[in-house]
Amino acid sequence: MNTVVLLSRDNVLLKQLQAAFARSAPQLTTVLADDPRAVDAQMAACWFPLPGSLAVLPNLQVIHSVAAGIDHLDHDPSCPDLPICRVVDPGHRQGMTEYVRWAVIHYHRGFDQVLAQQREQRWERPLQQTAGQFKVGVMGLGSLGSAIALDLVAAGYDIRGWARRCKDLPGVRTFAGAQELNGFLDGVELLINLLPLTNETRGILGRDTFEKLANGAVLVNCGRGGHLNIDDLEQALTRGQLRGALLDVFEQEPLPVDDRLWTMPGVTITPHMASAASHDCIAEQVAENFRRLHVGEPLLNCADRLLGY
């Protein structure tokens, strides 16, 4: 049977994916976890699956993330040791570049301050500085991070980047490895996180990192919620070490309505919208890997569970 089970705690997303599979992959039978046919599924398409939801599927052969990352699968500790694939959308890079460009302009030009002043009916122009005077750091120089760094260089910003291994990007001052992290952070006024979530990077956005930045710096987290230490963020914002934080990713999504981040002064929240694969692209890539599974061809976009991406 050509059965794929859709697993997520986000019921709205599940409905949207069902519609996309019906449009773009009608050859597949897509079911939800509570459907009796789910036990026949050979592939699970997942986004933050509920704990235990993967363990009860005896015929699974492949687990497919519906995003570029796979760390959200850790929310189900029963996740079996099977091949894991991810979705790579050609439009993902463009969407992320647009989001980060907006974030940089928003804080560089002081629009966060202007919006706060409007609520107080206060007329005061923020200090304007050229793009070349604004120091931006990009953590993670993979496909997305490199594209963003080069885009910001083209816009005239002072850009530096940090990655696990050495990178060579024109116009970007690059740093590599733990031994060069402090030098990378020193004096950065806006820090963009695009790292994959691994054992080494979990919690990296915490007090030690914030204290190395310029006083009154801004954090933009487009990586994963697990990168951020929320207690340290709140303290840094209270002390004025950080002026603000733009958060697009969270350890639990959707973000619970009673989460303190919603009302934390200086924090702006967006609903994991920086960039995402289109639902039709997800359906098409899952369907292609389903076809490959059944004809014995190599699967596309396989992830390394040990590396976490």
Rounded Cα distance between 111 and 103, Å, is 10
The closest of 242, 116, 267, 142 to 189, measured between CA atoms, is 242
Q: Is 272 a catalytic residue?
A: yes
The closest of 209, 259, 250 to 232, measured between CA atoms, is 209
CB-based contacts of 147, cutoff 8 Å, min separation 6: 93, 96, 97
Q: Is 294 a catalytic residue?
A: no
Residue among 86, 92, 106, 224 flagged as catalytic: 224
Q: Which amino acid is present at 278? A: S
Residue among 75, 86, 227, 272 flagged as catalytic: 272
Rounded Cα distance between 249 and 243, Å, is 19
The SS3 call for residue 267 is strand
Rounded Cα distance between 249 and 49, Å, is 16
Encoding tokens for residue 249?
A: 């990713």
Q: Among all residues, which ones are annotated catalytic?
A: 224, 272
